[in-house]
Structure 1
Amino acid sequence: MKRYILHTPFNIYHFEATTWQHAVHKHTYFEIIFIIRGNGIHTINGNTYDYTEGDVFLLGPEDYHDFVIREPTEFCFIRFNESVYRHSSGEKDNGWQSIVKTLLSTSSQSRGTLVADKQEKQKLHNLLAVLEEENKRDQAPYFTIIRDSLLRSMLMILARNLFSQTPARTQTNDSAEAILMYIRQHIYQPDKLTIDHLADVFHYAPAYISLFFKKQTGESLKQYIVKHKIKLIEARLLYSPLTLAEIADEFGYTDESHFCKQFRKYTGQTPGSFRKRT
């Protein structure tokens, strides 16, 4: 898989596209992706999300992704490496760097856009507009200080939104879509995907939530969870260097043997043979 390299600590890439020209790829840097206008599909580490105007995504060096553009889309990519936030303007930490470090080390790829609230999205897009204007004057006095302060503000808003996402938010919505979203968000936490736990989160009887889900989606709750997990695992096998043991651990399998047995049951192949076919 191709890995894109950033040769400077920071840059902004603003462009419009009707088709996505890049193959699935990784980076050596972090990326904040703004959707200025347009819509389509964003696939991150095997997870697929619809994107639309105002959405904001955060990717790290080991995340791999691509887009399918439905309507002409205007993108803005902010790219930066660790040196930008670790040594920002020589200021004291005062706690913000530890928050940003936690943000950048927390897996957010299973959540899609990190910001749902319209006002929060608007704040981020306003900061982006200022940052782009300042970036045109990168030789002006205090540019680095202003740039780092704006980027810091963006990251703190993203952290606030990411860390405030809790299971309680789904309890007010009893639709199948809310259940599907909850499953996608917790696919790496098997203990949160048991029938009893899901029933408790969505205020259903355990027997009823299974019937409700199957009626709405056409397949059983357990089957959907396993199939979604297998699709993500297939992407790991194709695009990541992780060992089978590491993948098994990531997805909460008790051991590699159990992982291989379930993968073969649903795909007809062992994980090793699936990986070798490419």
Structure 2
Amino acid sequence: MKKEDLYEPFSVSVQVLEKYPVDKHKHSFFELVYVLSGAGEQRINENKFTYQAGDMFLLTPGDSHCFDIQETTTFFFLRFNNIYLKSSGIVKDNVNRLEHALMNVNQVPGSILKNESDKPFVRMVIDAMIREQVNRDLCWDKITLQLVNTLISYVCRNIEKYQPAEIKDDKEEKLFDILQYIQSNIYSPKSIMAESISEKFNLSVSYIGRYFKKNHGKTMQEYVSNYRAKMIENRLIHSNMRMSEIVDEFGFVDESHLNKFFKKHTGRTPSEFRKN
């Protein structure tokens, strides 16, 4: 299967196609696809989704996909890689939100653009991006970067807002708050200890443990560990970070501590996981 690479932080393009030029293929980068006009079907991994004007899809590295075009289609493509994610043009909070969204994009079936009030603004941002690419007026590159960041923020909101909640009772707002807190503080081990979480929400350690288990189905420690392991997997797959950098970012004592934690959850060391 053909695999495509991207050697710049991001690229923007528009293509009018009657037939998709390549069969099912994979990328080493992220690809955001917006349908400006036309209709057909997209195959992502083993799933099929119909598409029409206004639909948007996000493909992650390693996804295999192709389009079956039924009506001549105008596609907008925004391709971006880890260089973009690490660039100074995007603030750290947005990087963390984006990482969380990318981890959960496959939980949002079909078009990821589901928030009705966002749809006209997304189209305006994309139209503005296309104009900047065509006209290349003064400061066009800086404006394009800001438009890319804006579009990515819309992507994050739609994925976060419409991903299935990992809880049994969607009325339990307190659990949403706890999950949000854990995700926001996953890089700070002390902040996600049971004692710190219970203090944050003004609940006893024993009560918050029972509450979390009852409403989520897993213990709080299981959720924290699983989420942390998934974030590390994301680093290993989508970045070239050294093990020492991952150790520092996630607050491990040393590389041995990281290896022990990761192997417990995946059956492989980080180095073995990255090789495969």
TM-score, structure 1 normalization: 0.54
Structure 1 residue 8: Cα displacement:
2.2
Matches within 5 A, 1:46-195: 46-89=46-89, 92-93=91-92, 95-108=93-106, 111-136=109-134, 140-141=138-139, 143-165=140-162
Distance 2:133 2:82 in 1: 19
| Residue identity matched to 2:47 | N
Distance 1:76 1:4 in 2: 17
- Please list the CA deviations of residues 98-146 of structure 1 after superposition, one character each: whole Å capped at 9, or x if unmatched: 11122223342761100124432221111111112223355843x4432
Q: Give yes or no for contact 1:59–1:109 (8 Å, CA) kept in 2.
A: no
Partner of 1:17: 17
Give the secondary-structure state (helix, strand or coil) at the position aligned to 1:16: strand
Partner of 2:265: none
Give the secondary-structure state (helix, strand or coil) at the position aligned to 2:106: coil
Distance 2:17 2:64 in 1: 19
Structure 1 residue 163: Cα displacement:
1.2
Distance 1:92 1:154 in 2: 14
| Residue identity matched to 1:126 | M
Structure 1 residue 57: Cα displacement:
0.5
Partner of 1:30: 30
Q: Give yes or no for contact 2:107–2:164 (8 Å, CA) kept in 1.
A: no
Question: Percent identical across equivalent pairs?
Answer: 27
Give the secondary-structure state (helix, strand or coil) at the position aligned to 1:153: helix
Change (3 A) 1:139 1:13: same
Give the secondary-structure state (helix, strand or coil) at the position aligned to 1:48: strand
Q: Give yes or no for contact 2:37–2:52 (8 Å, CA) kept in 1.
A: yes
Structure 1 residue 12: Cα displacement:
1.6
Change (3 A) 1:48 1:5: same
| Structure 2: gaps spanning 5 or more residues | 166-276
Partner of 2:4: 4
| Structure 1: gaps spanning 5 or more residues | 169-278
Partner of 1:214: none
Partner of 2:258: none
Distance 2:35 2:6 in 1: 21
Q: Give yes or no for contact 1:44–1:64 (8 Å, CA) kept in 2.
A: yes
Change (3 A) 1:73 1:127: same
Structure 1 residue 68: Cα displacement:
0.7
Q: How big is the alpha-carbon RMSD for the aligned residues of Structure 1 and Structure 2?
A: 2.1
Distance 1:57 1:150 in 2: 18
